């Protein structure tokens, strides 16, 4: 049985401490592996990462890191699609649960000798899947440095009083409410996945869910062929990749592969949108089999 993950600072280790080898990093308790870049288990979350320059798509801006997941890399080139399991899934769990991640960077000491430096606690802000610069798909993780020594805890939001109002210019996705409303009306506010029809004081309620998400790295379109009617619970599960729809229009539970339902649509839904969701959100391998074991999505 593997040792449990330890999150946050390690007693006796300070930010800036330098180590001559990965084995020295492991023995200090900073990272459980002597080779792998991601430390942790998919059941617990990731507790540490090493940045060593092995992935061409990594971006390291000091307090902001765009980190490439593990797998499919040979000789510094991405030759195969990464899958959403092991360390890749563990980092997503750390994001979902707000767990601290120690960052260790490959760095030279004052004498110019190459080794590894502990650079403190970071939080995983977001993650998604996209093509690498070499072509195959990779998972990307945005990490933000967390200030302050001692045991890490998620920052407590400050509140109180009326918020200030300041002028601002923002870019946001302008959704066409006519599109989602048309789909919800067509299905009489009934969830396609579980057949629930919620009744509230103002009448029936459902949500128009976009199959290929709008904006960001996904660039989905706001059209009826990309929208289905779901209850709030199934909307979240679908957006997080815990449920997906296969080529035969069967609703599948991602973690087990269990067929939950055969879907019947009253409007045209583009199969390519479900294919995109299966690969980029539900994290299926090229062979169409689930390549992960827990419900966390690319966004």
- Give the pLDDT confidence of 266-280 residue by residue, as tens digits: 999 999 999 999 988
Percent of the chain whose pLDDT exceeds 90? 54
Residue 273: alpha-carbon gap to chain centroid: 19
- Give the pLDDT confidence of 31-40 residue by residue, as tens digits: 988 888 999 8
Query: Model confidence at 177, in pLDDT bands (50, 70, 90)?
Result: confident
Predicted TM-score (pTM) of this structure: 0.58
User: pLDDT at residue 188 above 70?
Assistant: yes
User: pLDDT at residue 180 above 90?
Assistant: yes
Q: Token digits for 144?
A: 């933000």
- Of the candidate ranges 36-40, 237-241, 293-297, the one whose mean pLDDT is the lowest: 293-297
Domains of the chain are: 18-145 (2.30.280.10), 177-281 (no CATH)
5-39: b (≥16 Cβ within 10 Å) or e: bbbebbeeeeeebebeebeebbebbbbbeeeebbb
| Average pLDDT taken over every residue of the chain | 85
The rounded distance, in Å, linking the Cα atoms of 281 and 238 is 9
Which helix (H) or strand (E) segment holds residue 298: the answer is: none
- Of the candidate ranges 95-109, 204-218, 243-257, 259-273, the one whose mean pLDDT is the lowest: 204-218
Query: Model confidence at 214, in pLDDT bands (50, 70, 90)?
Result: confident
Q: What is the pLDDT of residue 287?
A: 46
User: pLDDT at residue 231 above 50?
Assistant: yes
């Amino acid at each position: 049985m593997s040792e449990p993950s330890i999150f946050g600072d390690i007693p006796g280790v300070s930010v800036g401490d330098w180590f001559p080898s990965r084995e020295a990093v492991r023995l200090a308790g900073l990272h459980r592996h002597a080779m792998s870049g991601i430390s942790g288990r998919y059941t617990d979350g990731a507790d540490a990462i090493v940045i060593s320059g092995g992935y061409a798509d990594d971006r390291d801006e000091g307090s902001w890191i765009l980190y490439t997941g593990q797998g499919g890399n040979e000789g510094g080139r991405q030759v195969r699609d990464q899958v959403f399991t092991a360390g890749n899934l563990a980092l997503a769990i750390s994001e979902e649960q707000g767990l601290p991640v120690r960052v260790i960077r490959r760095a030279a000491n004052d004498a110019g000798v190459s080794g590894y430096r502990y650079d403190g606690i970071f939080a995983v802000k977001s993650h998604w899947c996209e093509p690498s610069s070499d072509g195959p798909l990779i998972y990307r993780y945005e990490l933000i440095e967390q200030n302050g020594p001692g045991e890490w805890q998620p920052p407590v939001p400050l509140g109180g009083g009326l918020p200030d109002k300041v002028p601002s210019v923002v870019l946001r996705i302008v959704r066409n409410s006519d599109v989602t409303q048309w789909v919800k009306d067509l299905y009489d506010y009934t969830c396609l996945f579980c057949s629930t029809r919620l009744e509230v004081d103002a009448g029936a309620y459902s949500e128009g869910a976009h199959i290929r998400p709008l904006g960001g790295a996904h660039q989905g379109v706001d059209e009826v062929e990309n929208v289905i009617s779901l209850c709030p619970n199934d909307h979240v599960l679908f957006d997080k990749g815990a449920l997906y729809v296969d080529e035969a229009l069967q609703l599948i539970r991602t973690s087990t592969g269990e067929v939950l339902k055969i879907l019947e649509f009253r409007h045209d839904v583009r199969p390519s949108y479900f294919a995109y969701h299966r690969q980029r959100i539900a994290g299926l391998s090229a062979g169409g089999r689930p390549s992960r074991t827990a419900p966390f999505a690319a966004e």
